[in-house]
Amino acid sequence: MFTGRGSRGISYSKVLMKNGPLTAELTETFKPPAALNSPFKHGIKEKPALKPGAPVKSGVPPQTLIKRYRNGETNPVSLIHQLAQIYEFHLEMKETVATDVPPLLPVEEKPSVNDTHPSPAIYERKNPVNLQILQAVSNQLTKLTSNHLKFSSCTSTTAAFIIQTSSQCEVVALGTGDFNAKECLSENGRIVNDSHAVVTARRSLMRYLYRHLLLFYSKNASLKEKSVFQHSSSSSNLLSLKSGVALHLYVNQLPKGAAQIPSKTRLNPKSISAWQVRNEISLHQAVEGKVFSVLLSGLHHSACNMVSMSTTDKITQWQVLGYQGALLSHFIEPIYVQSILVGDSHCSDISRMKMSVSQRVDGITPELPMFYCMIRPHISLVPSAVTCSSGSSQLTFGFNWSEGDCSVEVVDGLEGKTTEDSPFKSGPALASRLCKAAMLHRFKLAAKEAERQDLRTTRSYREAKMVAKPYQEAKNVLRDHLCKKGYGSWLKKVSVSENFSM
């Protein structure tokens, strides 16, 4: 298990693991630390008209930049970008394929003839950090449901985000649920469209991040110290997670979509069934709790049905764009999860999830804007941390919570609103604290505290998202990449659903 640091829940030094040596022209000018272990290789090509080792004018000498890196004040990617600008080198970032990724096309799996060695799944069940995470999730669920036993049956599908530091693992956001709304999109942003557990947990994580943004911008020094954010050491004005902070995701079921497709085949160059695997790990859409491949030509939905991308596809997207979303990207660098723990007692194979989350976006990093990259999370099978009650009559219900909340909020996934008997209700309209209107309110408050007048004047939720230019560029690159690779087209949102304002 890695110990992440930096702005993304996993540090750039981890991103650059297995990194090859820099070119001779650059290493003659400065001597970076020993080669880092990364899925990336940086090819740095010298411009023909430039004399090797001839620096251009800069306010900061290269030796100072390197010293900052060695002191942990900046990350490797920022260092390389800064040095490339000083020495006028052309910089390219290329991914290499990890050794544990299966080959390219599918063939029949052959059973192992040697069962004397423990499997990776058994080993990862005994991983001490994984055990800490499982215990933290179990304890938090018990704490949340002990006072509201009637909602304990809502935990059949659960997801949680865990912050790991040098001293502890702490659950900071949690969500349960298995449905998306049955009605059309809301024009005022007060309907939760997708209430699947991972989506709910991620929106709860965003609430946690907003809360810590406000702590950071507080005039009270002791409150600011409690924030998980710090000024980024890069040349940007964005914040980053404090050094030594890592983010993990726990799910008690394989996410809906391509990750749940039974894995009887694996990728191999000699197979003739590539089209079958491409269809199986294609993008999927969710409709009232059921999922369908976007490649199915006969797929039609009623105009009244709410359709969203599958949870697996959203995780794939977040591992490229970050889990913070467009609005928070105005303030912070992309945040990624370092590992995904699958606590599904009925699951014995997570290879399709690995393929869906990582392999579909292999090679995308060179196309992305700065600070964005494809993070390959460590996906492992672990024991379940959730004890589910049987005989529930609340099949469409789910609840959400984030660190700092006094109680859970229960939402009817099909209605997209808070239930009448929810322990927490924001008002008589029963709009959830996870709805888009609530997120826009938090965004405006953060913009005020950060003294970002440019953001405070945005007129609508959609405008606030669209002016996040690097995030929107990265999103377009991702969707073009998936389409060109043959996995299908991403569902386009109806713009009227985001044109509301405060």
Name the domain boundary from 62, 95, 128: 95
Pair 208, 311 in one domain: yes
Pair 332, 388 in one domain: yes
Pair 326, 458 in one domain: yes
**Alpha-carbon span 215 to 232, nearest angstrom:** 16
Determine the Cα angle at 417 with ends 407 and 170, to 5°.
35
For residue 418, pLDDT over 90 is answered with yes
Closest CA to 20 of 46, 48, 44: 44
147: its two tokens: 């006072």
Pair 340, 202 in one domain: yes
Pair 311, 271 in one domain: yes
Domain range for residue 82?
19-95
**Alpha-carbon span 122 to 383, nearest angstrom:** 10
Highest mean pLDDT of the ranges 73-82, 105-114, 369-378, 468-477: 468-477
Pair 63, 122 in one domain: no
Cβ-contact 478, 321 below 8 angstroms: yes
For residue 186, pLDDT over 50 is answered with yes
Mean pLDDT of 4-28: 41
Pair 145, 29 in one domain: no
Range of lowest pLDDT (114-123, 144-153, 173-182): 114-123
Pair 29, 131 in one domain: no
User: Does residue 72 sit within a domain?
Assistant: yes
Cβ-contact 33, 267 below 8 angstroms: no
User: Does residue 290 sit within a domain?
Assistant: yes
Mean pLDDT of 284-288: 83
For residue 382, pLDDT over 80 is answered with yes
User: Does residue 344 sit within a domain?
Assistant: yes
How do strand 246-251 and strand 397-402 relate by DSSP bridges? unpaired
Q: Is 120 helix (H, G, I), strand (E, B) or coil?
A: helix
Q: How confident is the model at residue 46, as a pLDDT?
A: 40
User: Does residue 438 sit within a domain?
Assistant: yes
Pair 341, 471 in one domain: yes
The pLDDT confidence band at residue 328, using thresholds 50, 70 and 90, is very high
Per residue in 451-485, pLDDT (tens digit) is: 999 999 999 999 999 999 999 999 999 999 999 99
Pair 85, 219 in one domain: no
User: Does residue 494 sit within a domain?
Assistant: yes
User: How is residue 37 annotated by DSSP?
Assistant: B
Pair 147, 235 in one domain: yes
User: Does residue 4 sit within a domain?
Assistant: no
Total tally of structural domains belonging to the chain: 2
The pLDDT confidence band at residue 303, using thresholds 50, 70 and 90, is low
User: How is residue 194 annotated by DSSP?
Assistant: B
User: Does residue 10 sit within a domain?
Assistant: no
User: Does residue 100 sit within a domain?
Assistant: no
**Alpha-carbon span 437 to 439, nearest angstrom:** 5
Name the domain boundary from 44, 61, 95: 95
Q: How confident is the model at residue 99, as a pLDDT?
A: 39
103: its two tokens: 């080959």
Cβ-contact 183, 161 below 8 angstroms: no
Between 89 and 82, name the one with better pLDDT. Answer: 82
Closest CA to 349 of 261, 422, 435: 261
Pair 127, 77 in one domain: no
The pLDDT confidence band at residue 61, using thresholds 50, 70 and 90, is confident
Mean pLDDT of 344-349: 84
Q: How confident is the model at residue 502, as a pLDDT?
A: 75
b/e per residue 360-398 (b: at least 16 CB within 10 A): bbbebbebbeebbbbbbbbbbbbebbbeeeeeeeeebbb
Residues of the chain with pLDDT > 70, as a percent, come to 73
Closest CA to 248 of 363, 151, 136, 97: 136
- pTM for the full predicted model: 0.76
Q: How confident is the model at residue 35, as a pLDDT?
A: 39
